[in-house]
Amino acid sequence: MGSGHGVRVSVLIVNWNGRDLLPGCLAALARQTVAPHEIVVVDNGSEDGSADYLRACDAQGLKTRFLGTNTGFSGGNNVAFGMAEGDVVALLNNDAEPDPDWIAEALPAFEDPVVAMVACKVLRAEGGTVDKVGHLMYRDGQNRGRGTGRPDDGRFDMDEEALWPDGCAGFYRRSALEQTLTDGHLLDPDFFLYAEDAELGMRLRWAGYRCIYRHKSIVIHRHSAGLGKFGLRKLYFIERNRMWLLVKTFPLGWILVSPWFTLLRHGANALAALRGRGVAGGAARAQSPFALAGCLVRALWDGLRGAPRMWRKRSGVVKRVSDRDMKRILRTYRISLSELTGED
């Protein structure tokens, strides 16, 4: 696959009550120096006028589908993927606005046939700070964006390998996706929201594919515009789905020792909450201790209940690398406990 204009790029956008976000996102796509082949927008049963806006929109290459209910990020993208025709599929949040060279700067990475994923430099809309430049992984399945909260001061201005892209804005080789579908789906529909991009990234990594971070492929992200940064629903999905990610995609030996790392993480988060630092400190200010505890217990319980189903799905993961190689990859892109909790 070359990097020229002959490569067809399908941009997939899932919208749920994002009427105020769509104009900026679509306008940014209209300014691309390499135009997308198509823009596939799936509306997840919005009730804010999004459907009327999309029906009236005349954006070039726009294809729409209107669902009667909210099927989550996973379900919406699965529908969009079924409609897409491109050689490269780009996932893009409705609260993200790419720079004009977003597509042009990403495509050269696909000249290497082993590269199936391209991570972008995702910057926060507040200005001056990184949202994520690829991802890092903790030993219990919790993952976080690399560079989150760091200044955009040049330290990430180098093209290099990454673990996988963030679902907010990432590019994927279609032929690789088709080889690694989960029960026929692009994203695991059970995940619904959060960690579904990590699960996809793990599947592609198990299949022997690589991810390249392209620092000039830039997107501005209005972080957590959908559920809020410290919303209980968001925290629930993050905690539940990291358990499912662990059971479905981690090397067996690491699954067995993961409870110890979960205890360490929760202990570090409790300390960070008391100090008012990091994500845990923000959550403690936004929610009552009882609400947070109830959310955590419910997420852990639902995670355990769904674990047997995820274990059965392990057999569908295409594995072309050994457990040893996967452990090496995860160690290379591990995140420290202090960085994960925002205490460093």
- 29-56 pLDDT tens trace: 999 999 999 999 999 999 999 999 999 9
Alpha helices per DSSP H over the chain = 22-30, 50-56, 72-83, 102-106, 174-179, 196-206, 232-249, 252-275, 278-286, 289-313, 323-332, 337-341
CB count in 10 Å sphere of residue 320: 12
Nearest to 169 by CA among 222, 235, 93, 62: 93
Whole-angstrom CA distances from 38 to 2, 7, 41, 72, 268 are 18, 12, 10, 22, 45
pTM, two decimal places: 0.94
Q: Answer yes or no: are the C-beta atoms of 146 and 134 closer than 8 Å.
A: yes
Which residues, including other chains, have CB under 8 Å from residue 96's CB and lie 6 or more apart?
25, 122, 168, 169, 219, 220, 221, 222
Q: Name beta bridge partners: 212.
A: 118, 161
Locate tokens 């989960």: which residue?
Answer: 182
DSSP 80: H
pLDDT at 285 (0 to 100): 79
Whole-angstrom CA distances from 55 to 42, 64, 67 are 12, 8, 13
CATH number of the 9-221 domain = 3.90.550.10
Stretch 86-109: mean pLDDT: 98
Which residues, including other chains, have CB under 8 Å from residue 294's CB and lie 6 or more apart?
none
Side-chain half-sphere CA neighbours of 216 within 13 A: 8
* Structural domain boundaries in the chain: 9-221, 232-341
Stretch 19-28: mean pLDDT: 97
For the chain, the average pLDDT equals 93
Say how far apart CA 50 and CA 56 lie, in whole Å. 10
Amino acid at 141: G
In this predicted model, what pLDDT tens digit does every residue of 113-166 receive, in sequence order? 999 999 999 999 887 799 999 999 999 999 999 999 899 999 999 999 999 999
Q: Answer yes or no: are the C-beta atoms of 278 and 343 closer than 8 Å.
A: yes
Question: Percent of the chain, pLDDT > 70?
Answer: 95
- Residue 43 structure tokens: 């509306």
CB count in 10 Å sphere of residue 51: 17
Locate tokens 């823009």: which residue?
Answer: 39
SS3 161: strand
Q: Answer yes or no: are the C-beta atoms of 307 and 247 closer than 8 Å.
A: yes
Stretch 291-302: mean pLDDT: 93
Say how far apart CA 247 and CA 141 lie, in whole Å. 9
Q: At what angle do helices 252-275 and 232-249 cross, to 10 degrees?
A: 160
Say how far apart CA 11 and CA 63 lie, in whole Å. 10
Stretch 277-285: mean pLDDT: 73
In this predicted model, what pLDDT tens digit does every residue of 305-336 receive, in sequence order? 999 999 999 999 999 999 999 999 999 999 99
Query: 312 in the Ramachandran plot: left (φ > 0), alpha (ψ -120 to 50) or beta?
Result: alpha
Q: Answer yes or no: are the C-beta atoms of 247 and 311 closer than 8 Å.
A: yes
SS3 152: coil
pLDDT at 228 (0 to 100): 57
Q: Answer yes or no: are the C-beta atoms of 188 and 196 closer than 8 Å.
A: yes
| Residue 183 reports pLDDT greater than 80 | yes
Residue 187 phi, psi (nearest 5): -115, 150
